[in-house]
């Protein structure tokens, strides 16, 4: 039934002031039995419209419709929405079910893949623990030109709103470390995996190990690690095969091929690592395919601002203006602030196509110190901190500034 505004219900109650004299029981009884004349009936109903007590009397005095029926007050208003709430519960179950069903085939696919690659590692007993370091060590320190920015990332900013991508990238700072550990030896084969796996990976290697890694990898999707591991798998593959050319249109495929390449040459550990990575790359593709990628920005090691338009796969340097060494960047979608040495502060509101220099000033002072961090919470409010400890804040997109 249609609802009435709450105010209407409240006013209905407020203006219902029953007159002093109530109709007698004989009138109410006669009303209930339709024994009143039209005139009398309208008088009674006029009273009933404003008198809660007489309405109660009439309702209570009603003969039972069914033996079990008590006078009919609705249990409560929220019960009326019971159907809705049950519907929500059912919908939830259906959604969860659907998600589980959708994920199931992926796991199956993966396990068949691991089954396929397993014999290879069995056929190659020569790749003992010691040998894994050999192909792994020389290459990761020499990333391909494309991925170079990844390797030298000091801080990666993700302007995307999705927390998953943010998480992925926030861990990107550990990439270098990962590569080092990968290069350092066989123990680092699966650094992201829990300790039992690591312990096992130290043992003499066989099919068993690769299986255990694969199995451990399956029930433990770590979205935060996805990006890192896909990088890892690539660098491992780079190391094993030599170089896999750039322009990988489909990361999962590339990761898969790299996994196989790794398994063929780098031995079971690299293979199992790559398998885990390929599995995670699948997930990463799942995440990325869902959303239109927003540009990402970071500062390269030489202080240049770089941008990726494909969720971090490729990076381009952006000419900002002047010969600046940047240290910090803050981006909200297409609104971008970048700061660096000697008070260089630039703002772009078109995702880095054009920049304008901003020189914050407050009380006759200008910001000239080296900028250590730039942080904007939205397109208007933000602050810049210098290496000298000055804090400059704005709440009007850089029109006016305050210095603390």
Partner 1 sequence: MLIASAVFGGMSDSAQPAFASLPGIESLIGELYRLSGGEKFGLTQPQFLVIVHDIGRKYLHGSAGNSEVRAFYLSLRVEELALARACAAGSEHAWETFLIRYREKLYDMALHIAREDSAARDLADSLYADLYGTSTREGQRISKLASYTGRGSLEGWLRTVLAQEYVNRYRRRKRLVSLDEEIEEGSQFAATDPVTETVVDPRLESSTDEALTALPAEDRFILTSYYLDELTLATIAQTLGVHESTISRKLDKLAKSLRKQILAGMARRGMSRRQAQEALETDIRDLKIDIRKRLSQDSDRRTFPEEKAKARATDGSS
Q: What residue ranges bind partner 1 (CB under 8 A)?
A: 1-13, 15-16, 24-37, 40, 42, 45-46, 48-50, 52-53, 55-65, 70-74, 76-77, 381, 383, 385, 389, 391, 393, 395, 402, 404
Minimum separation from the CB atom of position 83 to partner 1 (A): 16
Identity of the residue, 40 or 146, whose beta carbon is nearer to partner 1 in the bound complex: 40
Minimum separation from the CB atom of position 387 to partner 1 (A): 10
Q: Can you say whether the dihedral through the CA atoms of 164, 165, 168, 169 is positive or negative?
A: negative
| Phi, psi (degrees; rounded to nearest 5) at 332 | -125, 105
Question: Using CA atoms, how far apart are residues 28 and 296, in angstroms rounded to an integer?
Answer: 76
Identity of the residue, 38 or 323, whose beta carbon is nearer to partner 1 in the bound complex: 38
Identity of the residue, 30 or 253, whose beta carbon is nearer to partner 1 in the bound complex: 30
Closest CA to 191 of 153, 146, 228, 162: 228
Question: Using CA atoms, how far apart are residues 288 and 266, in angstroms rounded to an integer?
Answer: 29
Closest CA to 270 of 175, 135, 148, 141: 135
Question: Using CA atoms, how far apart are residues 207 and 268, in angstroms rounded to an integer?
Answer: 7
Q: Three-class SS of residue 365?
A: strand
Identity of the residue, 70 or 101, whose beta carbon is nearer to partner 1 in the bound complex: 70
Cβ contact 296:159 at 8 Å: yes
Minimum separation from the CB atom of position 153 to partner 1 (A): 21
Count Cβ atoms within 10 A of the Cβ of residue 40 and give its class: 0-12 exposed, 13-18 middle, 19 or more buried. Answer: middle
Kindly list the distances between the CA atom of residue 314 and the CA atoms of 142, 146, 206, 287, 373, in Å, as whole numbers in the listed order: 17, 6, 36, 18, 25
Cβ contact 325:341 at 8 Å: yes
Minimum separation from the CB atom of position 404 to partner 1 (A): 5
Identity of the residue, 302 or 402, whose beta carbon is nearer to partner 1 in the bound complex: 402
Minimum separation from the CB atom of position 10 to partner 1 (A): 7
Closest CA to 346 of 362, 366, 329: 329
Identity of the residue, 42 or 356, whose beta carbon is nearer to partner 1 in the bound complex: 42
Minimum separation from the CB atom of position 357 to partner 1 (A): 24
Q: Where are the alpha helices (DSSP H) in 124-225?
A: 129-136, 148-151, 163-170, 175-184, 195-202, 207-217
Question: Using CA atoms, how far apart are residues 287 and 284, in angstroms rounded to an integer?
Answer: 5
Minimum separation from the CB atom of position 382 to partner 1 (A): 10
Minimum separation from the CB atom of position 261 to partner 1 (A): 44
Minimum separation from the CB atom of position 30 to partner 1 (A): 4
Cβ contact 299:327 at 8 Å: yes
């Amino acid at each position: 039934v249609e609802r009435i505004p709450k105010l209407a219900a409240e006013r209905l109650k407020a203006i219902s002031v029953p007159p002093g004299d109530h109709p007698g029981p004989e009138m109410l009884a006669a009303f209930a039995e339709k024994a009143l004349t039209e005139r009398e009936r309208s008088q009674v109903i006029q009273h009933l419209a404003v008198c809660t007590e007489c309405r109660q009397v009439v309702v209570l005095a009603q003969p039972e419709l069914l033996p079990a029926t008590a006078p009919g007050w609705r249990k409560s208003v929220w019960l009326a929405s019971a159907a809705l709430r049950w519907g929500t519960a059912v919908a939830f179950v259906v959604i969860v079910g659907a998600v589980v069903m959708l994920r199931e085939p992926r796991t199956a696919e993966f396990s068949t893949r691991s089954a396929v690659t397993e014999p290879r590692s069995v056929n190659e007993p020569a790749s003992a623990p010691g040998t894994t370091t050999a192909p792994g060590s020389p290459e990761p320190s020499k990333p391909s030109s494309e991925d170079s920015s990844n390797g030298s990332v000091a801080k990666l900013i993700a302007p995307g709103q999705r927390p998953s991508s943010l998480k992925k990238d926030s861990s990107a700072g550990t990439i270098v470390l990962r590569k080092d550990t990968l290069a350092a030896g066989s123990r680092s084969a699966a650094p992201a995996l829990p300790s039992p796996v690591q312990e096992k990976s130290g043992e003499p290697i066989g099919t068993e190990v690769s299986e255990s890694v694969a199995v451990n990898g399956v029930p433990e999707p770590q979205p935060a690690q996805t990006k890192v591991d896909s990088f890892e798998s690539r660098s491992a593959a780079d190391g094993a095969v030599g170089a896999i050319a750039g322009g990988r249109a489909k990361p999962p495929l590339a990761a898969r091929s790299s996994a196989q390449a790794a398994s063929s040459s780098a031995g079971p550990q690299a293979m199992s690592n790559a398998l885990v990575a390929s599995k995670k790359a699948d997930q990463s593709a799942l995440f990325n395919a869902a959303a239109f990628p927003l540009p990402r920005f970071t500062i390269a090691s030489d202080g240049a601002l770089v941008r990726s338009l494909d969720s971090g796969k490729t990076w381009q340097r952006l000419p900002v203006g002047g010969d600046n060494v940047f240290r910090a960047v803050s981006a909200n979608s297409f609104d971008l602030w970048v700061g660096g040495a000697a008070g260089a502060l630039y703002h772009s509101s078109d995702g880095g196509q054009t920049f304008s220099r901003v020189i914050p000033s407050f009380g006759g002072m200008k910001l000239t110190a080296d900028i250590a961090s730039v942080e904007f919470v939205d397109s208007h409010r933000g602050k810049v901190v210098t290496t000298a400890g000055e804090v400059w804040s704005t709440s009007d997109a850089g029109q006016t500034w305050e210095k603390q």
